[in-house]
Amino acid sequence: MKTGDNWRQSRNWLKDLLAPQYLHNVVGPAIHSSVLKLVELWEYKSRVGDSRAFSMVSDLKTLALDVIVAFHFGSDFQDSALDRQVDHVGKLDGTKLPSGEHNEVEFSKAPLHEFQQALTDVGDKMAAIYTTKWPPLIVAWWVRHVSPYYRPFFQAKDRFIRKHINLAVRRYRNDEEPSTGIDYMVYREEKAARKAHRQPMFDKQIMIDEAYGNLIAGQHTTSAALVWVLKLLADYPSVQEKLREELEGIFVSAMQENRLPTASEIITSKLPYLDAMLEETLRLRAAMLVPRDATKDTELLGHRIPKGTVVLLVCQGPDYKPSPPSKYWGDVKASRMYPGKGNPDLEVFDPERWLVQNEKGDLEFDGSSYPQLAFGLGIRSCWGRRLAMVEMRIMTTLMTLKFELKDVPEGLRGHEASYDISYRAKKGFLRLKSRGEVP
């Protein structure tokens, strides 16, 4: 969508969804509840699988799916995908589970609600469009209008989302307080329509597409990032231990009461090493592409870029070596001095590079310590950044306190990745040791 009136209108619908009140009071507890279900699922898998490695990829996609559905529909949709998986795994016989080439346990999956299953399938198909050899617009048209599987779903999802928009409209007409993401979108549109002296756009395709686009993006990209977080914690035991020490030192009351910290405690606490670890993960494993349209004729490093050109910023394309001298660097402002320390080799995973000393000598997280482009920049940066960071913060905190992330067999390691709308690990395996009761 171009940066025009439609885009500004859709952004206006989403303003309240990322406000602290909604994130802290509604979304945070929903994420916390979903992560606790994932903890339960992984305790089952580790126990039934005799502590062998298993794939975390599908489970983290399921977590992200539950979160983004709860974010938009709240209590209007109560069919938890994680609940289905917990019930399914709890009935499995560990002696009959198949093993993979490297002795990893292979778990079957419970079927999802038809809307969630199609949402997952379409998300995968849309991501694959980025790497297809066919023109993406042709593939997208075929998926939506011709495909015998996907075409009926696009019609069904329109009906499904429209039903929830109608529920939100009814609540607004009854002067009820908003309680779901769709509620807030509807309430914003009602106010905008009244101000502009026009009819609200509740029945327009643009509102349905906005909600649907957020559902797709929210579950696909965040789940990919969560896989990298846990892989890196397992690969770097010293980082994992340092993170655990910070968490236990900050959440003293929770540790004394033998419980995991609440969503509110995790969201509102200063956790510099956790934030540094997440930022470093995003720096090294950012999304593959950030597309931008040139808004005027310009020239960059000797290359003419006409207005309207689509410029693809390939985040995983360049290496991390300093650029060679060039005559064009004279036209570029001097590089800024980044305050973070850490390893000077930018190919190395090192959360320390995001930590700086304040005036009192204490370490603080500084998100500007180094350059990174995980969420884009400027007016078109990812609107869901706050939601993603809250989800990553809660998931990483609870998993680090509840489990030790152990080495997996050599054949299940490695950081090879596939490219689509996210940078997705090809090998996403976990081997867990439960820490039992919270220390």
pTM of the entire structure? 0.88
C-beta of residue 172 within 8 angstroms of C-beta of residue 190: yes
Q: Which residue has the higher pLDDT, 130 or 392?
A: 392
**Distance from C-alpha of 382 to C-alpha of 402, rounded to nearest angstrom:** 31
Going 313 to 319 to 320 to 323, the CA torsion angle's sign is negative
Three-state secondary-structure class, residue 288: coil
The least confident of 159-173, 296-310, 425-439 is: 425-439
Q: Which residue has the higher pLDDT, 289 or 397?
A: 397
Overall average pLDDT of the 403-425 stretch: 90
- Residue 327 falls inside a structural domain: no
- pLDDT of the residue at 439: 44
- Residue 292 falls inside a structural domain: no
- pLDDT of the residue at 148: 79
> Can you give the CATH number for the domain in which 105 is found?
1.10.630.10
- pLDDT of the residue at 264: 96
- Residue 324 falls inside a structural domain: no
- Residue 356 falls inside a structural domain: no
- 241-279 burial, b at 16+ Cβ within 10 Å, e below that, comes to eebbebbeebbeebbeeeebbbbeebbeeebbbbbbbbb
Q: Flag whether pLDDT at 136 surpasses 70.
A: no
Element of type H or E holding 276? helix 272-284
DSSP 8-state assignment for residue 281: H
**Distance from C-alpha of 128 to C-alpha of 18, rounded to nearest angstrom:** 29
- Residue 334 falls inside a structural domain: no
Q: What is the pLDDT of residues 275-310, one digit of tens each?
A: 999 999 999 887 767 778 888 999 887 889 999 898
Q: Which residue has the higher pLDDT, 326 or 344?
A: 344
Which residue from 310, 275, 285 is spatially nearest to 374, judged by alpha carbons? 285
Overall average pLDDT of the 139-165 stretch: 81
Element of type H or E holding 424? strand 423-425
Q: Flag whether pLDDT at 319 surpasses 60.
A: yes
C-beta of residue 87 within 8 angstroms of C-beta of residue 110: yes
Can you give the residue range of the structural domain that contains 232? Answer: 10-285+385-434
Q: Which residue has the higher pLDDT, 357 or 183?
A: 183
Q: How confident is the model at residue 155 (pLDDT cuts 50, 70, 90)?
A: confident
**Domain count along the chain:** 1
- Residue 396 falls inside a structural domain: yes
- pLDDT of the residue at 119: 81
- Residue 439 falls inside a structural domain: no
Q: How confident is the model at residue 127 (pLDDT cuts 50, 70, 90)?
A: low
- Residue 376 falls inside a structural domain: no
